[in-house]
Amino acid sequence: MNKKVAFHTLGCKLNFSETSTIARQVQGEGFERVEFSEKADLYVINTCSVTENADKRFKTIVRQAQRKNPKAFIAAIGCYAQLKPEELASVDGVDLVLGATEKFKLTDYLSNLSKNDFGKIHSCEIEEADFYVGSYAIGDRTRAFLKVQDGCDYKCTFCTIPLARGISRSDTLGNVLKNAREISEKGIKEIVLTGVNIGDYGKGEFGNKRHEHTFLDLVRALDDVPGIHRLRISSIEPNLLKDETISFVAQSKAFVPHFHIPLQSGSNKILKAMRRRYQRELYTERVAQIKSLMPHACIGVDVIVGFPGETDEDFLETYHFLNELEISYLHVFTYSERDNTLAAAMEEVVPQRVRQKRSRMLRALSVKKRRAFYESQLGSVSTVLFEGENKAGYIHGFTENYVKVRAPWNPELVNTLHRVRLQEIDIEGMVRIAFENASVTA
């Protein structure tokens, strides 16, 4: 009988793409993959260290695995495993901790699944994480996360990702296109491009530091891959989102009018302290350029509150900047101190209660912004890609520009594209629709 393996992923889309690739490798060695909630012989936890919350969740997830099978072998991989391997190895029940490069060779460390008295660590120096492993994740059969880039050469003062993932490096354009074709052949309708700093695509493509291709080269090539109905850019730095890319997306066959652009602060003083590579004026220009070519575009924003030195005036500057900007929603992060970052040693620490208050204010603003964006789209006709889950009798889906809709559950709608008219916002904050015709867009 095959041994059973279960995976749990914390963090970003990039982690999900890598978990999926590692899982395929393990299955290739004869393991049967099961859900993490089921009894397994091997549990693999792909960790994240971006937020304090993700760190704390690790122990809870280990305990969940132990409850399902006290004799199970438990392995920890990912960013937290690279940054603090000893900390993870000391958690009761953890048998193996693999760093940034070792995680892609998980099966090499599974000669037997005997429990260890202490977690064994195999972790490289992060300078050794200089090679690229391509990955993609297939989640709910409607979309796939395609990794195109890894690592980061930026030195933002709050961020541990360069310490956890190493230097910026890219997949070869040929391999990205090969993976995209494989995804398309599986009948998946949407691909989301993911990486640590995808706007830096092309650097390190063939193991050197120069750019062999640009991000614009990448999107142009992907737009010509047959069978892909939608391509979505997950997140791109404002200084790397060029006007030429925006113009191309506006007239492309497959790229959708949805951008997620990290801002982090609307105060130039705080942006400078964060060592971001732009000021708020550039961000304003990017939003204006997108909206001038794609008035219906959805724009999401990452923002951090409570960074050291952020005064009430600095925060209000951010709040008013975002309130006046033509954006669609926010991802709000409450600043948390991370070891070995410059920001952790900065003075003028913002009290936790103040951080939480600012977070609540921006989350409320996000609700208002999303509502206003949805209202602006009512009456329009869009194409919706329906997902595969029955949620309380409803099926959900997203338009090209990321408006979330729902309709009464119908299994025939799963992974299909339909032209619909957006009618009204329901009590759940989603949009009710009317089908424009009965035919499915292939």
Q: What is the pLDDT of residue 442?
A: 46
Opening angle at CA 377, ends 374 and 383, nearest 5: 105
Assigned fold of 4-127: Rossmann fold (3.40.50)
Q: Which of 340, 427, 381 is nearest to 163 (CA)?
A: 340
In 311-351, alpha helices (H) = 312-324
Angle of the 312-324 helix axis to the 352-377 helix axis, nearest 10:
10
Q: Count of alpha carbons within 13 Å of 383, Cβ hemisphere only?
A: 16
- Pairing outcome for strands 417-425 and 431-435: antiparallel
Task: Of 395, 261, 394, 257, give the one whose Cα is nearest residue 325.
Answer: 261
Check residue 52 and give its pLDDT. 63
Distance CA 345, CA 343 (A): 5
Q: What is the pLDDT of residue 423?
A: 95
Residue 202: how many CB atoms within 10 A of its CB?
A: 24
| Chain-centre distance for alpha carbon 69 | 30
- Axis crossing angle, helix 215-223 with helix 243-251, rounded to the nearest 10: 10
What's the predicted TM-score (pTM) here? 0.88
Task: Using CA atoms of 47, 234, 401, 382 in order, give the dihedral in degrees to the nearest 10.
Answer: -80
259-292 in b/e burial notation, b at 16+ Cβ within 10 A? bbbbbbbbbeebbebbebebebeebbebbebbbe
Q: How far is CA 320 from CA 125, 317, 323, in A?
A: 43, 5, 5
Report mean pLDDT in 10-residue bins for the chain, 442 residues: 86 84 87 90 86 73 91 89 86 88 86 78 68 71 87 93 88 94 92 94 79 93 93 95 97 96 98 97 98 98 98 98 98 92 94 97 97 97 92 94 95 93 93 77 48
Cβ–Cβ < 8 Å for 48, 10: yes
Instruction: Output the pLDDT for position 313.
Output: 98
Helix, coil or strand: residue 162? helix
Q: How far apart are the first and last CA of the chain?
A: 40
Query: What is residue 142's predicted lDDT score, i.e. its pLDDT?
Result: 79
Give CA separation, 155 vs 75, 277, 375, in Å: 30, 10, 39
CATH class of 258-377: alpha beta
Q: Three-state SS for 44?
A: strand
195 neighbors 152 (Cβ within 8 angstroms): no
Find tokens 């260890």 and name the residue: 116
Tell me whether the CATH fold assigned to 130-256 matches the one assigned to 258-377. Answer: yes
Name the pairing type of β-strands 329-334 and 298-305.
parallel
What is d(CA 394, CA 206) in angstroms, rounded to the nearest whole number?
Answer: 47
The whole-number pLDDT of residue 135 equals 81
**412 vs 215: CA distance, rounded Å:** 37
Residue 97 burial class via C-beta count within 10 angstroms: exposed 0-12, middle 13-18, buried 19 and up: buried
C-alpha 14/C-alpha 386 separation (Å) is 23
How far apart are alpha carbons 275 and 169 in whole angstroms? Answer: 21
Torsion of CA 408, 228, 328, 409, to 10 degrees: 10
Give the strand order in the sheet containing 190-194. 136-138, 143-147, 190-194, 230-233
DSSP state of 62: H
What pLDDT was estimated at residue 377? Answer: 97
C-alpha to C-alpha distance for 414 and 411, rounded to whole angstroms: 6
CATH of domain 381-435: 2.40.50
CATH, domain range 130-256? 3.30.750.210
Which residue matches tokens 């101190």? 337
Domain limits of the chain? 4-127, 130-256, 258-377, 381-435
